[in-house]
Structure 1
Amino acid sequence: MSQHVRQIAKDASIVGGATLLSRILGFFRDMILAYVLGAGIAADAFYVAYRLPNMMRRLFAEGSMTMAFVPVFQKLREEVGDEKAFAMPRSAMVWLLIILGVLTTLAIVFARPLTKLITPGFADDPALFDLTVDLTRIVFPYIIEISAVALCMGVLNSFGHFLAPALATSELNTIIILGAGVAWLFGFDPAYTLAWSVVIGGIGQVYMQLPQLKKFGFSWRGPWSLRDKGVLRMGLLMLPTAFGAAVYQLNIVLGTLLASYLPTGSISYLYYADRLVQFPLGVFGVAVGTVALPGLAKLASAGKTGEFVDTLNASLRLTLFICLPAAAGLIALADPMVRVLFGRGAFGEPAIAATAGALVAYGVGLPAFACVRPLYSAYFALSDTRTPAIVAAVCLVVYVIAGLALMGPTGHVGLALATSISSWVNIAALGLVLRKKLGPGWLRLGRTTFIGTILSIGVGFGAHATADRPYLSLILIILWAMAYMGLASLLRVEEARMLTDFVRRKMKKR
């Protein structure tokens, strides 16, 4: 296995560990929010308001800017050196503040028509609609803060540092948890208190990145230009990428719009189920794609196609090796997971059953959700941002057709299943197009994925056998994970041995 692949596995483990901490805090946060807000009017209003800046974040930051920034900045460092290349992120930050500043101002001024556009079904309930408008005005400036964090992440990732950006979400979760505690202790309105907590947490996320940037010699004070050539190149890459990200966000908007016509609580059910899916997806699925991008960009820039293909395949195998058993576990233990984590306070039995149904539907698509990021990294490293955008547009049509067909008979579960279906179509289309760029035999998942699939099926059946005892079934997840890794190692699966060796060396050092 090449040094590039080993470095990806190492960095992915670091990012995965940091993200694991964030996800644990996130679950604790969601447990508290479920207790405080339940799945009623306050919850639907808060999650819609919070979703809007997050949607814009993926459009301007993670969805386009960061992915376009890393390859350009990486190449610029090689051409002119770090000191001159630093003018690019400074210039990008100025553009970021200008564009998002105007956008945020417009969103605050026109919050009412914006809310009506996103959730037209809320207009039938004046109290719900007005609350959503108020929370949107408070939370929307978070887009500026989190986009600044994403730009910092691009700089740090280019230098091979992934820990600080991965820990940023932990800080936000901590602030939101504290906000919920303050609301409960002092009797403040929980929805408004949590909205302000998001904004305060965003400021903290930005300041977390500054010490690490300083270590690499970067400062926001220095030369910048609105006509910076690096930003111009990044902008050209961003145009189709932003379109693709816009299509993806339109998918979310349409999902929210459709769910707003379903019974009250449907949006919250989908949110809580998505949070559970995001746990394995964020801990390792997204981590592999994040750390693979700088390495793939270097190989593509150097014209090393063979190593590029090997690295991409290793990234996909590593992703599937982790996400296949995770998907099996989510499907098998959907009810006990929701019951133990959220089933208390205002979150009653009907909410548990509804959220568990959505979780099963999302679990079917988990491997596809995870593999999208490494494939996107490959396209961006090859400076092809057009293809993912076109494929995303096709998948949006697939989602709408599937969603409309399924939401009638199955409600919100149909919308979750439509997301999984469109994601699998996305993966298939991206893989087929890569054949033209890398050759017909580029995809080599090998015995790793075959063995991982068989073992995952065993994990799913074993976990399901204990599902009637919620707390015990969740405790046994550790045992199933150890059995999966142990059997894979005995069967000489290289990814299993590489991960266990890395963890063992870390434990010895400590």
Structure 2
Amino acid sequence: MAGATLISRGLGFVRDIIVAFALGAGLFADAFFVAFRIPNLLRRLFGEGSLTMAFVPVYSRVREEEGEEAAQAMARSAMIWLAMILVFITVLVEILARPLTIVIAPGFLDNSEQFRATVDLVRICFPYVIFICGVALCMGILNSRDHFLAPALAPVALNVALIGSALFGYYMGYNVAYSMAYGVLIGGAAQWLLQQPFLVRSGFSWRGPWAWKNKGVARMGLLMLPTVFGAAVYQLNIVLSTLLASYLPVGSVSYLYYADRLVQFPLGVFGVAISTAALPSLAKLAARGELEEFDSALTSALGLTLFIALPAAAGLVGLAEPIIGILFQRGAFTPEAVVATAQALIAYSIGLPFIALSRPLVAGFYALEDTKTPVKIAVVCLMANIGLGVWLMQFLSHIGLALAVSLSSFLNFVLLYVLLTRKRGARLLPPGSTFKTGLLSILIGWGAYATASLHPWWLVLIPVWVVVYVLMAFALQMVEARLFWGMIKSRIQRKKRTR
């Protein structure tokens, strides 16, 4: 999954480079990013943010207790309910696009052209949510059946569609923001179609019995209610950051967007990949009552997540400005935009390890079918993020909003970790490995910062820092280093056996 995600995120960077070139960081860029963020919010509410988390444990339990046919009937029934809900919401948004835009970006009312463009783009982009939430359910089915490749590759289709639509709009003389909005719809349909051959190959079929009143769907719905609320709280953090950024100078929304995209790269490649791959295993272990193995699996997931996320954060902090410059400084993306985006990247990167660590912890709660505790914690962190954002933006502008996200992410991790360790009565993050990872990450971050001005050697040295980090981890006899290498070695051997 990490390998496939690496491909899609790499292509995502190509997409961002092209979008920065064609769209820049001005009026229409801000309008598009706000409009695209709204269906993404629903994607996380009804997609992997809640539906997948609630679906996987129930689907796994139904397969264990009632068999394959019952599990497939439950999945079909869930898809029917999901489609009905999403079509209703889409029709509602098409009608209420204007007041919705006022709620999401009230600061745009001061610029009538920007506001009108955002309303138009919301109406074009929003039906994407129907496709992408369907993809999220497919992801839950495939992950529960131990298949992770297709869902991880799905964003490739979206990236290709957005790249093509941006270049088409730019070279044909059309408004790039509008062209990309239609590209969003094309990408959503392509992602859905990509999943279908893999579902068939895994033995799943959409043809077969389903029911309006399915016990598995009802149980999933009960679990999903608090997870939807929890996802809503998390996404409300993003929406409120956008709302606050709309009061800042033009370009602030775009600076935060591009910086967040860079943070999402290591987070998606390894942080999300590890937690997503861990959830089906944790759910199966919890369903069987094998709680000692559950603790061991969760400890491994947390250790490996920190082993990767902490040095990644240190590297982003040390190389923030040259990375932004080499990726985006061309066309409409000015040197001033590079500096502003790099400042936001540093602020976001501080919270990257805590965001990454929170995901396996939430997966642990969900696997135990405890969906209420993460929601309560999310509410506390939302309040913290709002308060910190309003306060810090007065002194640090858009940087303050990014820093508020990092600080609230730290609070989220601490609360999740403390409550889950109490629930399980086990230490889930060994202090020895944590200290060694922190020490090595500081050294790597310092080395990256010291060479940041050596163009182009800072870029050449990135793989060198990776090798140095892994070798030092082996020298310190870190379990995570052996686990990381063991996973890679196992994957290579599996590839050789299948040839």
Residue 247 of structure 1: which of 233, 256, 270 is its match? 233
| 1:350 to partner: Cα distance | 1.2
Residue 447 of structure 1: which of 421, 426, 432 is its match? 432
- The whole-number CA distance in structure 2 between the counterparts of 1:184 and 1:121 is 27
Structure 2 partner of 1:484: 469
Matched, 1:34 2:20: yes
Q: Is the CA contact 1:336–1:471 (under 8 Å) kept in the aligned structure 2?
A: no
- The whole-number CA distance in structure 2 between the counterparts of 1:476 and 1:436 is 43
Q: Deviations over 1:174-216 (max 9, x none)?
A: 1111112222232222111111011001101001111111112
Residue 5 of structure 2: which of 12, 19, 25 is its match? 19
Residue 197 of structure 1: which of 165, 183, 189 is its match? 183
Matched, 1:334 2:303: no
User: Which range moved further: 199-208 or 212-221?
Assistant: 212-221
Letter in structure 2 aligned against 1:484: Y
| 1:250 to partner: Cα distance | 1.2
- The whole-number CA distance in structure 2 between the counterparts of 1:251 and 1:49 is 16
Q: Is the CA contact 2:230–2:378 (under 8 Å) kept in the aligned structure 1?
A: yes
- The whole-number CA distance in structure 2 between the counterparts of 1:470 and 1:377 is 41
TM-score normalised to the size of structure 2?
A: 0.97
Aligned length: 495
Q: Is the CA contact 2:39–2:128 (under 8 Å) kept in the aligned structure 1?
A: yes
Matched, 1:172 2:132: no
Letter in structure 1 aligned against 2:89: L
Structure 2 partner of 1:9: none
Structure 2 gap segments, 5+ residues each = none
Structure 2 partner of 1:259: 245
Structure 2 partner of 1:209: 195
Matched, 1:94 2:80: yes
Structure 1 partner of 2:293: 307
Structure 2 partner of 1:59: 45
| 1:433 to partner: Cα distance | 1.3
Letter in structure 1 aligned against 2:440: L
Q: Is the CA contact 1:362–1:417 (under 8 Å) kept in the aligned structure 2?
A: yes
Q: Is the CA contact 1:281–1:370 (under 8 Å) kept in the aligned structure 2?
A: yes
Q: Is the CA contact 2:260–2:345 (under 8 Å) kept in the aligned structure 1?
A: yes
- The whole-number CA distance in structure 1 between the counterparts of 2:438 and 2:412 is 20
- The whole-number CA distance in structure 2 between the counterparts of 1:106 and 1:354 is 37
SS of residue in 1 equivalent to 2:243? helix
Q: Deviations over 1:47-68 (max 9, x none)?
A: 0011000011001111110000
Structure 1 partner of 2:143: 157
Q: State how 1:247-396 maps to structure 2 within 5 Å.
A: 247-396=233-382
User: Taking every aligned residue pair, what percent have the same amino acid on both sides?
Assistant: 56
Q: Is the CA contact 1:340–1:471 (under 8 Å) kept in the aligned structure 2?
A: no
User: Which range moved further: 447-456 or 361-370?
Assistant: 447-456
Structure 1 gap segments, 5+ residues each = 1-14
Letter in structure 1 aligned against 2:443: G
Structure 2 partner of 1:12: none
| 1:157 to partner: Cα distance | 0.4
User: Which range moved further: 470-479 or 166-175?
Assistant: 470-479
Q: Deviations over 1:444-475 (max 9, x none)?
A: 42432221111111101100011113432122
Q: Deviations over 1:23-65 (max 9, x none)?
A: 1100100000001111001100110011000011001111110
SS of residue in 1 equivalent to 2:365? helix
SS of residue in 1 equivalent to 2:333? coil
| 1:506 to partner: Cα distance | 4.6
- The whole-number CA distance in structure 2 between the counterparts of 1:29 and 1:36 is 10
Structure 2 partner of 1:5: none
Q: Is the CA contact 1:88–1:230 (under 8 Å) kept in the aligned structure 2?
A: yes
Letter in structure 2 aligned against 1:315: A
Matched, 1:409 2:395: yes
Residue 204 of structure 2: which of 208, 218, 221 is its match? 218
Structure 1 partner of 2:459: 474
TM-score normalised to the size of structure 1?
A: 0.95
Letter in structure 2 aligned against 1:180: A
- The whole-number CA distance in structure 1 between the counterparts of 2:429 and 2:283 is 20
Q: Is the CA contact 2:304–2:484 (under 8 Å) kept in the aligned structure 1?
A: no
Letter in structure 2 aligned against 1:498: L
